[in-house]
C-alpha cells in the first residue's frame, strides 16, 4: 500500500501519539504506522528565519517520520495568528463580527502555505498519498500542484463550512474555494457543511455538483462527509481506571454529595461559555432547592491568547463566574468552579464519569469531541446525561442527548433541570442510543473511510482547457 503523508498545522509529538493527549493524534498516528509515512507541519516554535530555512527537523519513530519546521515571527503573525485565527476561524464559526481581514496577512497565509509545500516536496515519493488537515492549509494542494506534484491529495475540514452568505464576507472567498478544488477529496464533518460547499459551487463558482462529484474552476473533485469520532472503549477504560485515583477521590469528597455538572472546552468564543454560565445562573435563580446542591465545574484552558478576541472572552468569563459566584456562594459552597488549565486525559474522563450532567453548548462547532468523550466515559449502570447544543456537529448523531439552543438561556436552564432529575431508566436508554452512534462513527471508521475514498480517486486529471 502506498505511504501516507499527513500534513497539519501542528504535528503531535511522538509522546502525544502514545495516548497521553487527544485521541485524534492517536488515530492519525495509527494510520501512519500501518503504511509507514510522514507527519509534516509546524513545530509550534517561533524561530529566526535562518533556523526556519534549515528545517524540516526529522524524528523517526518506527516507520513514521515526524517532520517539523519552526515559523519566523512574521509568518506566525500573518499566517497563524492573523488570517487563520482572526479571519477564517471567526467567519467559519459564523462570527463575522469578530473577523479582521488584512490583505498583508492573507498574502502571508498563502506565502507560508507555499513555503511549507516546498519544504514537504523534498520528502515526497511518487506513490505517496497526502492527507491535509484544516483551515490553516486550504491553499496547500494548490501550491503542491503548481510545483508539479500529481499525487493524490485529500483535505479534511475540522471546523464548520459556512453557508455562502457568510463565506462571502471573506474578501478572497473565491480564491479559497478555488484552492479547495485543487484537492482530489474534500471531507466535511456534517452533511450541512458539505451542502454549504456545494451551494457555493453552484451559485457562486458557476460549477456543477452531481452527487459527491464537483466540477469547478476547471477541476474535478470528490466531496464527502466523514463524522469524526473517538475510540469509546479506550475512553471507558481510562475513565474507569482514574476513578480510584487520589485527585478524583479528592474532588468527589469536596463535593460533599452535591451533584456535578461537567464542562470542558478550549477557551474560545465559539464554545458558548458565557451563555452557559448565564443558563446555570438562571437555573439557580429559578430552582432554589438546587442552590448549594449542584456544582458546575468548567475546565477551559486558554488558547490563542495573543489574539485580542481571546483576551476579551477570558475577561468576560472571569467576570461572569465571579458575579454568579458572588450571588450564590455560601461559606462552604461555590456554584461555579472555573479552572483555566489542561488536565491529563484520564483525569478528564474520570471526572466525566463522576458527573451527573455533561453540559456541552457551543454556539457553533465542527463536531465537538468532548460531547462524545463524555458519553463514552459514563458508567453504563448509572450514566450521566449529555446536554448538547444543536449547533455542534455531534448533534446530528447523538440523538440520545437533551438538545438545546445555547442562545436560549431559559431553555438551557430547563434542560439542566430535566437532566438532573432524569430517572435511571431514561438515562440508560439515552446512553444506549448515544453509544450506538459512537460505535458506528468511531475514530477508526472516520480515518479508514476518508483514506479509502482518497486511495480510490483516479490520479489527478489534467486541468481542463
Ligand atoms: P476543538 O475546537 O479543539 O477541535 P473538540 O472537538 O471538543 O474541540 O476537541 C477538544 C479536545 O481537547 C478534546 O479531546 C478534549 O478532551 C481536549 N481538551 C479540552 N480541554 C482540555 C483540557 N483542559 N485538558 C486536556 N484536554 C482538553 C476542532 C473543532 C471541533 C472538532 C475537532 C476534531 O473545533 O469541532 O470536533 O477539531 O475534528
Pair 153, 243 in one domain = no
Beta bridge partners of 298: 263, 338
Residue 461 placed within a domain: no
Split into its structural domains, the chain has a count of 2
Catalytic positions, written as ranges: 158, 365
The pLDDT tens digits of the residues spanning 20-54 come to 555 678 888 888 998 999 999 999 999 999 999 99
Give Cβ neighbours of residue 204 (< 8 Å, ≥ 6 apart). Answer: 164, 168, 173, 174, 177
Residue 105 placed within a domain: yes
User: In the prediction, which pLDDT does 221 show?
Assistant: 98
User: In the prediction, which pLDDT does 21 show?
Assistant: 56
User: In the prediction, which pLDDT does 20 show?
Assistant: 53
Pocket of ligand 1 (CB under 6 A): 22, 24, 158-159, 228, 264, 266, 299, 301, 342-343, 348, 365-370, 373
Beta bridge partners of 114: none
Neighbour count for residue 435 (Cβ, 10 Å)? 19
> Using CA atoms, how far apart are residues 240 and 368, in angstroms rounded to an integer?
22
Pair 202, 287 in one domain = no
Pair 256, 220 in one domain = no
Residue 95 placed within a domain: yes
Does residue 368 come out as left (phi exceeding 0), alpha (psi in the -120 to 50 range) or beta?
A: left
Pair 286, 328 in one domain = yes
> Which residue has its alpha carbon closest to ligand 1 atom 38?
158
User: In the prediction, which pLDDT does 184 show?
Assistant: 98
Residue 264 placed within a domain: yes
CB 116 within 8 Å of CB 426: no
Q: How far is CA 297 from CA 3, 251, 255, 311, 455, in A?
A: 44, 10, 11, 21, 44
Pair 17, 37 in one domain = yes
User: In the prediction, which pLDDT does 23 show?
Assistant: 64
> Using CA atoms, how far apart are residues 336 and 324, in angstroms rounded to an integer?
8
Pair 237, 184 in one domain = no
Q: Which residue has the cell 434542560?
A: 415
Residue 103 placed within a domain: yes
Measured from the Cα of 303, ligand 1's closest atom is: 3
User: In the prediction, which pLDDT does 17 show?
Assistant: 76
User: In the prediction, which pLDDT does 269 show?
Assistant: 94
> Which residue has its alpha carbon closest to ligand 1 atom 12?
22
CB 130 within 8 Å of CB 5: yes
Pair 351, 239 in one domain = yes
Cis peptide before 215 (omega within 30 of 0): no
Q: pTM to 2 decimals?
A: 0.96
> Using CA atoms, how far apart are residues 279 and 285, in angstroms rounded to an integer?
10
User: In the prediction, which pLDDT does 461 show?
Assistant: 47
The pLDDT tens digits of the residues spanning 161-207 come to 999 999 999 999 999 999 999 999 999 999 999 999 999 999 999 99
User: In the prediction, which pLDDT does 465 show?
Assistant: 35
Pair 20, 93 in one domain = yes
Residue 162 placed within a domain: yes
Pair 245, 149 in one domain = no
Pair 261, 215 in one domain = no
Q: Which residue has the cell 499525487?
A: 151
Pair 242, 309 in one domain = yes
Q: Which residue has the cell 506566525?
A: 76
- Ligand 1 centre from 148 Cα, in Å? 36
Domain of 49 in residue numbering reads as 4-229+444-455
> Which residue has its alpha carbon closest to ligand 1 atom 16?
370
Residue ranges of the chain with pLDDT lower than 70?
A: 18-23, 459-465
Residue 462 placed within a domain: no
* CATH number, domain containing residue 107: 3.40.50.2000
> Using CA atoms, how far apart are residues 385 and 196, in angstroms rounded to an integer?
31
Pair 240, 175 in one domain = no
Give Cβ neighbours of residue 412 (< 8 Å, ≥ 6 apart). Answer: 275, 276, 279, 282, 361, 387, 404, 405, 406
Residue 460 placed within a domain: no
Query: Radius of gyration (Cα) for the chain, nearest Å?
Result: 23
Amino acid at each position: 500500500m502506498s505511504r501516507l503523508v499527513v500534513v497539519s498545522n501542528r504535528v503531535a509529538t511522538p509522546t502525544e501519539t502514545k495516548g497521553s493527549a487527544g485521541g485524534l493524534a492517536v488515530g492519525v498516528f495509527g494510520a501512519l504506522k500501518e503504511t509507514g509515512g510522514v507527519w509534516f507541519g509546524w513545530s509550534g516554535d517561533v524561530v529566526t528565519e535562518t533556523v526556519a530555512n534549515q528545517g524540516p527537523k526529522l524524528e523517526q519513530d518506527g516507520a513514521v517520520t515526524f517532520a517539523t519546521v519552526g515559523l519566523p515571527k512574521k509568518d506566525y503573525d500573518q499566517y497563524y495568528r492573523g488570517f487563520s485565527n482572526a479571519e477564517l476561524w471567526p467567519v467559519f464559526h459564523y462570527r463575522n463580527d469578530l473577523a479582521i481581514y488584512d490583505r498583508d496577512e492573507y498574502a502571508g497565509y498563502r506565502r507560508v502555505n507555499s513555503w511549507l509545500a516546498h519544504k514537504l516536496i523534498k520528502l515526497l515519493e511518487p506513490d505517496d498519498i497526502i492527507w491535509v488537515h484544516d483551515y490553516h492549509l486550504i491553499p496547500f494542494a494548490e501550491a503542491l500542484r503548481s510545483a508539479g506534484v500529481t499525487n493524490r491529495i485529500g483535505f479534511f475540514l475540522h471546523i464548520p463550512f459556512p453557508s455562502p452568505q457568510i463565506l462571502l464576507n471573506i474578501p478572497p472567498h473565491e480564491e479559497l474555494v478555488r484552492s479547495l478544488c485543487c484537492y482530489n477529496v474534500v471531507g466535511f464533518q456534517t452533511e450541512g457543511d458539505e451542502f454549504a460547499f456545494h451551494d457555493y459551487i453552484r451559485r457562486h463558482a458557476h460549477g456543477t455538483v452531481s452527487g459527491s462529484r464537483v466540477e469547478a474552476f476547471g477541476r474535478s473533485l470528490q466531496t464527502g462527509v466523514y463524522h469524526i469520532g473517538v475510540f469509546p472503549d479506550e475512553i471507558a477504560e481510562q475513565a474507569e481506571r482514574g476513578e480510584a485515583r487520589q485527585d478524583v477521590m479528592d474532588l468527589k469528597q469536596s463535593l460533599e454529595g452535591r451533584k456535578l455538572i461537567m464542562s470542558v472546552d478550549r477557551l474560545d468564543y465559539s464554545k458558548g461559555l458565557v451563555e452557559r454560565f448565564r443558563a446555570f445562573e438562571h437555573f439557580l435563580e429559578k430552582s432554589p432547592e438546587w442552590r448549594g446542591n449542584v456544582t458546575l465545574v468548567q475546565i477551559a484552558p486558554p488558547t490563542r491568547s495573543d489574539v485580542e478576541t481571546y483576551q476579551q472572552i477570558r475577561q468576560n468569563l472571569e467576570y461572569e463566574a465571579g458575579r454568579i459566584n458572588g450571588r450564590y456562594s455560601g461559606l462552604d459552597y461555590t456554584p461555579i468552579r472555573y479552572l483555566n488549565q489542561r488536565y491529563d486525559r484520564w483525569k478528564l474522563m474520570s471526572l466525566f464519569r463522576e458527573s451527573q450532567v455533561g453540559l456541552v453548548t457551543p454556539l457553533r462547532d465542527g463536531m465537538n469531541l468532548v460531547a462524545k468523550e463524555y458519553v463514552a466515559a459514563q458508567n453504563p449502570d448509572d450514566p450521566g446525561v449529555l446536554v448538547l447544543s444543536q449547533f455542534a456537529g455531534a448533534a446530528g448523531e447523538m440523538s440520545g442527548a437533551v438538545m438545546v439552543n445555547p442562545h436560549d438561556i431559559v431553555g438551557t436552564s430547563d434542560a439542566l433541570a430535566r437532566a438532573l432529575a432524569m430517572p435511571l431508566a431514561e438515562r440508560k436508554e439515552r446512553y444506549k442510543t448515544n453509544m450506538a452512534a459512537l460505535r458506528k462513527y468511531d475514530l477508526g471508521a472516520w480515518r479508514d473511510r476518508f483514506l479509502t475514498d482518497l486511495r480510490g480517486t483516479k490520479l489527478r486529471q489534467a486541468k481542463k482547457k
